[in-house]
Amino acid sequence: MRIFKRADALNQYLSIRRSAGETIGFAPTMGALHAGHMALIEACRQRSAITVCSIFINPTQFNNPDDFRHYPVTLEKDLEALLKAGCNVLFLPAEAEIYPDGYQKPHYDLGALETLLEGAFRPGHFQGVCQVVDRLLQIVLPNDLHMGQKDFQQCMVVKKMLELTTRTDVNLHITPTLRESDGLAMSSRNLRLNETARQQAPAIHQALQWIQQNLGTQSVESLEQQATDQLASKGFAVDYVTIRSAENLSPVTDDTKPKVALVAASVGGIRLIDNLPLY
């Protein structure tokens, strides 16, 4: 595996490979890699000649400075995992490579996606996500971009950013959420859960499954309220439990359209998100 810290060196190397007719698949991450990330690497490997992974903890997408400061870093383990998974290229940039002096970060017109759900609880988060993915795409110029359904709204935001930046040549592929055996969605932030919180955390997936099992038996509002109560009674501080259109995350109006249940809730001071497509 080749490791690049400089954007220009990576860009040059990949342009040589591209000229040789090789396709490039890309999975951006913030490190502290787990099996969910590895599923993206595997999806990349299946499709592309060259698999590129980036590890960059992007400061512009953190609305909470404490969350940024405490974001887990496990670089040695990450390198081992990427080597084992057959990743070809790792991009490990410093902040100045992504946002060089004088670089004007664009503003993206994300419409309603910017301010609903995660956007409401994490102001500026999705602008930061677009800024970093946009820059990484400029450097890597992949054919295929791989992201996880675990971040359902983020996938929609990135799709919108690809449209706004007229990157019709980049294909976005979405990998289903990988879970621990007790149902907890894998996440780098799980490393920050204390023992008690880790035991409580699978309740999020249980609440989502409960919604799935009871869908159609009562109103959407009643399902949302009961699932919220289930989590609150187990010690969660619930930001939202909601059933939305899987097409645009707007409130459900047409019962025949695909839906998704989404949760954001904190346990032991750690904020977790998860979702379950209901289609």
Tell which residue, 150, 46, 139, 151, has the closest CA to residue 99.
139
Cβ atoms of 167 and 143 closer than 8 Å: no
Options 38, 53, 87, 185; binder of ligand AMP; rule CB under 6 A: 185
Residues 269 and 59: their CA atoms lie apart, in Å, by 20
Choices 101-109, 118-126, 179-187, 261-269; region in contact with ligand AMP by CB under 6 A: 179-187
Binding to ligand AMP (CB under 6 A) within 13-52 occurs at 29-30, 36-37, 39-40
Residues 195 and 193: their CA atoms lie apart, in Å, by 7
Q: How many Cα neighbours within 13 Å face the side chain of 243?
A: 29
Residues 112 and 200: their CA atoms lie apart, in Å, by 32
For residue 4, give every residue at least 6 positions away whose Cβ sits within 8 Å of its Cβ, in sequence order, or none: 10, 13, 89, 90, 91, 92, 93
107 is catalytic: no
Which one is catalytic: 34, 37, 125, 205? 37
Taking the alpha carbons at both ends of the chain, their separation in whole angstroms is 39
x-or-dash string of contact with ligand AMP, 108-147, rule CB under 6 A:
---------------------------------------x
Per CB under 6 A, 177 contacts ligand AMP = yes
Choices 74-82, 133-141, 183-191, 194-202; region in contact with ligand AMP by CB under 6 A: 183-191
**Residues in binding contact with ligand AMP, number by CB under 6 A:** 17
Options 4, 148, 242, 265; binder of ligand AMP; rule CB under 6 A: 148
Options 60, 187, 200, 242; binder of ligand AMP; rule CB under 6 A: 187
Per CB under 6 A, 157 contacts ligand AMP = no
Tell which residue, 173, 179, 187, 115, has the closest CA to residue 144.
173
Per CB under 6 A, 204 contacts ligand AMP = no
| Residues annotated catalytic, as ranges | 37
Footprint of ligand AMP (CB under 6 A): 29-30, 36-37, 39-40, 147-148, 150-151, 175, 177-178, 185-188
